[in-house]
């Protein structure tokens, strides 16, 4: 800490896309279109899963909640990005930065849990079809969703407090488009190894373990599908879980690659690209993946939208 000025209360500066001054207008327009598309696409999925009688099943109940989660993801990150691009001012207070990071991490943990719950739902549907509606009763589904939203909150609040209780140096420029773990650790003074260890622990607990559970569900699903005597039956079974498997791959690959870095090996450019992938592109393509590969969703959308 020698030779560095330390402050207890700071205002961070999100550099965002300041390295691309000639593209600010284009980026604003592009992210505005993406933002509105995320709200529209996921909003439509959420509405039809709540109103369409044919979609009142556990699978679509989870899909509706997942779409709502994607809307929340967009609300936490993109409006701030649009504001910074429009005003060319990336100043953000410590409390605002901490709040954004905390909400962002809570949503990330919730997504991990929801994806695991959706994988379990597909496992029961394919591997134990006769017991599906007995196991996946509505009150069970509600509890699984509520648990997905709240289980990670205490740990995330603790991690956020640990990160923002550190002293920060005079260089408070965050080379990112929103407040994320490693850009904040980059401007912290002193030894941050314990904070990095906490991040690894949280990624391991909420990321890797849940990913292994999802993987285990799909191993059992694929094993069961391969035993089906009919090729048509195998194709239908694969189609019911292929969309979810694509979404799982998109989310976990980018999220784990982003957070399994050290302060020393951290690459701001790589993290910025990966973060944008799972905070903007993933919420954008998820409803497309689910609707294009699901006839029930397509039929429900045609009923809702004017022809």
Residues in the chain: 307
DSSP string, 182-243: HHHHHTB-S--HHHHHHHHHHIIIIIIHHHHHHHHHHHHHHHHHHT-S-HHHHHHHHHHHHH
What is the dihedral sign for C-alpha 245, 249, 251, 256? positive
Could you give all domains of the chain from N- to C-terminal order, each with its CATH number? 7-304 (1.20.1070.10)
Q: What pLDDT, on a 0 to 100 scale, did the predictor assign at position 2? A: 47
Q: What pLDDT, on a 0 to 100 scale, did the predictor assign at position 7? A: 47
- The H or E element containing residue 61 is helix 58-87
CA angle 171, 182, 109 (to 5 degrees): 145
Q: What pLDDT, on a 0 to 100 scale, did the predictor assign at position 266? A: 54
16: left (phi over 0), alpha (psi -120 to 50) or beta: left
- Two tokens, residue 16: 């965002």
What pTM did the predictor assign?
0.87
* Separation of alpha carbons 291 and 182, rounded Å: 35
Average pLDDT by stretches of 10, the chain with 307 residues: 50 82 87 93 91 88 92 92 88 90 91 91 90 92 95 89 82 83 82 77 78 89 83 73 79 70 59 77 83 76 73
């Amino acid at each position: 800490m020698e030779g560095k000025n330390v402050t207890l209360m700071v205002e961070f500066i999100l550099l965002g896309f300041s390295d691309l001054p000639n593209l600010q207008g284009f980026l604003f327009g592009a992210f505005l279109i993406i933002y509105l598309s995320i709200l529209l696409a996921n909003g439509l999925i959420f509405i039809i899963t709540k109103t369409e009688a044919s979609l009142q099943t556990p699978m679509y109940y989870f899909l509706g909640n997942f779409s709502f989660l994607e809307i929340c993801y967009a609300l936490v990150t993109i409006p701030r990005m649009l504001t910074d691009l429009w005003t060319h001012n990336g100043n953000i207070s410590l409390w605002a930065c901490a709040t954004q990071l905390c909400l962002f991490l809570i949503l990330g943990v919730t997504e991990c849990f929801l994806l695991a719950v959706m994988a379990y739902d597909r496992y029961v549907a394919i591997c134990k079809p006769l017991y599906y509606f007995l196991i996946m009763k509505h009150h069970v589904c509600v509890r699984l969703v509520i648990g997905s939203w709240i289980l990670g909150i205490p740990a995330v609040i603790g991690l956020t407090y640990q990160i923002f209780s550190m002293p920060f140096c005079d260089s408070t420029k965050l080379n990112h488009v929103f407040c994320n773990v490693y850009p904040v650790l980059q401007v912290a003074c002193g030894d941050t190894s314990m904070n990095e260890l906490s991040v690894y622990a949280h990624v391991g607990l909420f990321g890797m373990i849940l990913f292994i559970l999802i993987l285990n569900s799909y191993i059992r699903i694929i094993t069961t599908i391969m035993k089906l005597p009919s090729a048509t039956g195998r194709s239908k079974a694969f189609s019911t879980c292929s969309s979810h498997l694509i979404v799982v791959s998109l989310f976990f690959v980018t999220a784990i690659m982003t957070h399994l870095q050290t302060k020393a090996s951290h690459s701001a450019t790589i993290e910025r690209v990966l973060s944008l992938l799972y905070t903007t592109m993933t919420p954008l393509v998820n409803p497309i993946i689910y609707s294009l590969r699901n006839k029930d969703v397509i039929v429900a959308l045609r009923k809702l939208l004017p022809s």
